[in-house]
Structure 1
Amino acid sequence: MLEVDSIKISVVIPIYNVELYIERCVRSLMEQTLENIEFIFVNDCTLDKSMDILQHVLEEYPARKKSVKIIEHKENRGLAAARNTGLNNVTGEYIIHCDSDDWIEKDMYEKLLRKALKTCADIVVCDFYDDYIGYSVVRKQPFPQESQECIKRMMNGELQCNTWNKLIARKLYERTKIYFPEGVNMWEDVSTIIPLCFHANIVAYVSEPLYHYIHYNTGSYLTRMNQSSLYNLIEALELIEVFLKEQEVYQQYAGNLCFMKLTVKLNLLLGSKGEQQKKWNNLYSEANIYIWQSTYISIYWKLALQFAALNMLFLFNIMAQLGKVLRSIKSR
C-alpha cells in the first residue's frame, strides 16, 4: 500500500467575512499530522480583516509556506464560485473543502487519506461535531459503500451532503466534470455531492467525528437566510432533478427526493409571507403524502407542514412564530 506521505491532498478554503473565526481554522489546518497537504485559500473579496489575520497566522508556520496558495477574486462571486476556483487550482490526488469559520481535528486528513488508500474509495466520509455555544453534538454519518444507498439516505435527510467531511479523489471530479453551480450559494454542496456519489465506485466511512461545524457565526450563509437563499434552494433541487433525469434514474429516487422537497418547502414557507407564501405553498404538492414518513423533520414541523398542505397557512404561521419563541428561549 502507498505511504500516506507520498500522496498529496488539496484543501480548498473559501474566505469571506470570517475574521472572528479564521485564526482557529487556519491553525487547525497548519497543525495537521499529515505533511503532504496543499492549502488553497480563495479570497472572495472579504470585507473584513480575514486576510490580514490569515497572513499573520501563516507567518507562524514557515514549514507550510510552500504548500499555501492564496487566490484573490477580483469581485465577490459567492461560495460556489470560490469552491470552483479552488478546484481549478488543485494539484493533489485527493480534494477536500474546509469552511473558514469551522475547524478540524489535527489528524483528520491523515485518517481520511489512510482510509482512502486502504479501500481504494473515491469518497471517504467521517462524522462531525455540531458546535454550539457551550456544547457540541456528535453527528454520525455512517455512509454505506453502495453509492445508490448513499444517495437515498442523503435525500431522506439521514446523512448530510456537506463537502467538508468528504475526501474525494481528484479523478472523480475529472471523470465526471462535476463542478459547483456558480450563483447557487445555498445547497451548492447538495447539488454537487449527490452527483459525485452517484458516480463513485466505492464510498468509505471513518467512524469518528473529525470536523467541527460551528452554528454561531451570524454572518454565515446558513444563518443569513434571505430571498436569494430561498431561490437557491429551489435551483439546487431543480439541478438534482435534472441530473437524475439525465441519468435515467429519476423514478428510482422520486420518493426519496420528496423528502428533500419537504425540507425546501418548509424553508420557503418560513422565509416568506402573504402572496409569496401562498405561491410557494403550491410547490411540490406531490411530496405532501410523505410528510409523516420523514425521519429528519421533527413532529412539530411535520404538523406545521400538514397545516400548510391543507391550505391552513394561518395555523402554519402561528406555529412558525411559536417556534421562534421556543428557539429563543432554548438559546438563552
Structure 2
Amino acid sequence: MKRPSVSIIVPVYHVEPYVEACLRSVMRQTYDGSMECILVDDCGTDESMAIAGKLIAEYTGAVSFKVLHHTHNRGLSAARNTGMDVATGDYLFFLDSDDELTDDCIESLAKPLEKEWHDVVMGCLKRYRILPSGQREYVESYLEQHLPHDVVFSPSTMMRTISEWQNMTAWNRLLRADFIRQNHLRFKEGLIYEDHLWSFQIACLASSFYVVSHTTYLYRYRDDGLSAPDDGRKYYNNLMIIIKDITAFVDERQIETDDYIYRVYRLFFYKLLDFHTTTLSDFVSTYQEMRPYVKAPVKSIIHANGFHIKKIFHDLHFMMPPFIASYWEYLCHRYFYVIVSGIKKQIIRDDE
C-alpha cells in the first residue's frame, strides 16, 4: 500500500512570537512521504506573515509550501475551510500556528496507514507554557487522550470520550480527505470553539479511529489565546448554537440517537445552564428554549446513566413536564448541587 500524502493546514493570525517555531517544526518532519503545508493568511496586522515568508523563502527541504491570502479577517473556521479547499493530500492535518509538531509527528501518525487507511488517526500531546526564564514547563492537560492506544476502535468509544469533554479538537489527527469531502464536513464560520461541533460530526460519521501511543503535538498555553477565558455571554451563546446544530445534524443525517449521543447533548446543556444559575428568569427561559433540542427518550436516559439511580435522579427533570422541569432543575442547580459539592470538598479537605 502506498504511503499517503499529507496536507498540513496552518491558519495564521497574530502569532508573531510563535509562528517561526511552528513552521520550523513542520520543516523538521521525518516523514518520507509527500507533504504539503498550506498557510492561510487571515489578515492580521503584525509581522506573522513576513516571518513565515522569510522562512519559506530560505527553506530547501521536501515539504511543499503554499500561501493563501484572505481579503479580510474571517476567523479560524474560514481559514481552515480555505486550506481544505486547495489541499491535495490523501490526509489532512490541522496545526494551530502557535503550537508545534514533534519531529516524527506525521511519520508516527501515518505508520498505521501502511496496513489500512483509517478515517481518523490521532496522536497524544503535551501541553506547555513558557516561563519568564524562557524555559518550557510541561503541565497536565484535560486534552490528553483517554482512548485505547494502537488499536482500531469504534465510533461509540469516540462518542463516549466526547461526552466526557475529551478529544474535542480538530488538530493533532490525520483525517482522510475523501471521508471529509464525501460527507461535506466544513467548519462553521463565526463560531467560537468550533472544534466541539466538528469533533461531534466526525465521531458520528467516521467508521474507524486509531490512536498512536506516542506524543505528536506540543500544545502551547497562551494567556491571550483563544483557549484563554473569553467573554462568558459570547461563549454560552455559542453553546446554544452548538446544541441546535448537533441536533439538526443528527436529524439531517438520520443518525440514531443512542446513549452516547444523548450524553453529548446533556454535556452541552448542563454547561449552558451553569451560566444562568444566578438568575431564575434567565435559567427558566434558556431551559425551556433548549430542552426540545436535548430531550431524549426515557430509555436513552436510563441506558446513558447505566441504570445508576443517583445519575437517573440527576436527569429526572427530563421526565417532567417542561413548565415544571425548569423550576425543579433551577432549585437543584442553585442549591442542591452546590450544597452537595461543598460538602464533598469539605470532606476531602478534612481527609487531607
Shorter-chain TM band: 0.7 to 0.9
SS at match of 2:147: coil
Whether 2:110 is the aligned partner of 1:113: answer yes
SS at match of 2:237: helix
SS at match of 2:217: strand
Whether 2:250 is the aligned partner of 1:239: answer no
2:322 corresponding residue in structure 1: none
Whether 2:10 is the aligned partner of 1:20: answer no
- Paired residues for 1:197-276 under 5 Å: 197-220=203-226, 222-246=228-252, 247-262=254-269, 264-265=271-272, 268-269=275-276
1:191 corresponding residue in structure 2: 197
Whether 2:190 is the aligned partner of 1:146: answer no
- Residue 248 of structure 1 and its aligned partner are, at CA, apart by 3.7
> How far apart are the structure 2 equivalents of 1:274 and 1:101?
41
> How far apart are the structure 2 equivalents of 1:309 and 1:31?
56
The 1:262–1:235 alpha-carbon spacing in structure 2 relative to 1, beyond 3 Å, is closer
Q: CA RMSD in A?
A: 3.5
- Paired residues for 1:73-88 under 5 Å: 73-88=70-85
Whether 2:101 is the aligned partner of 1:104: answer yes
Give the % identical residues.
26
For structure 2, the 5+ residue unaligned runs are 131-136, 312-327, 342-352
CA contact (8 A) 1:23 1:54 kept: yes
- Paired residues for 1:20-169 under 5 Å: 20-35=17-32, 36-64=34-62, 67-133=64-130, 134-137=137-140, 139-142=144-147, 145-157=153-165, 159-169=166-176
> Match of 1:245, as an amino acid?
D
2:323 corresponding residue in structure 1: none
The two structures have a TM-score, normalised by structure 2, of: 0.74
CA contact (8 A) 1:116 1:122 kept: no
SS at match of 1:10: strand
1:173 corresponding residue in structure 2: 180
Deviation string 1:161-212 (CA, Å, 9 cap, x unpaired) is 21111101111012211111122132x1221222223222221110112111
CA contact (8 A) 1:140 1:209 kept: no
1:310 corresponding residue in structure 2: 332
> How far apart are the structure 2 equivalents of 1:53 and 1:273?
48
The 1:204–1:251 alpha-carbon spacing in structure 2 relative to 1, beyond 3 Å, is closer
Deviation string 1:204-235 (CA, Å, 9 cap, x unpaired) is 11011211112224132544345333322221
> How far apart are the structure 1 equivalents of 2:48 and 2:271?
32
CA contact (8 A) 2:6 2:89 kept: yes
> How far apart are the structure 2 equivalents of 1:254 and 1:169?
23
CA contact (8 A) 1:19 1:48 kept: yes
1:296 corresponding residue in structure 2: none
CA contact (8 A) 1:128 1:213 kept: yes
CA contact (8 A) 1:17 1:219 kept: no
> How far apart are the structure 1 equivalents of 2:330 and 2:44?
39
Larger deviation: 90-99 or 202-211?
Answer: 202-211
1:322 corresponding residue in structure 2: none
Runs of 4+ deviating beyond 6 Å: 272-275, 285-290
Deviation string 1:249-280 (CA, Å, 9 cap, x unpaired) is 1244453124422563267449x979656754
CA contact (8 A) 1:116 1:204 kept: no
- Residue 16 of structure 1 and its aligned partner are, at CA, apart by 1.2
2:6 corresponding residue in structure 1: 9
CA contact (8 A) 1:142 1:207 kept: no
- Residue 240 of structure 1 and its aligned partner are, at CA, apart by 1.4
The two structures have a TM-score, normalised by structure 1, of: 0.78
SS at match of 1:83: helix
SS at match of 2:86: coil
For structure 1, the 5+ residue unaligned runs are 294-305, 320-332
> How far apart are the structure 1 equivalents of 2:188 and 2:98?
22
CA contact (8 A) 2:92 2:175 kept: yes
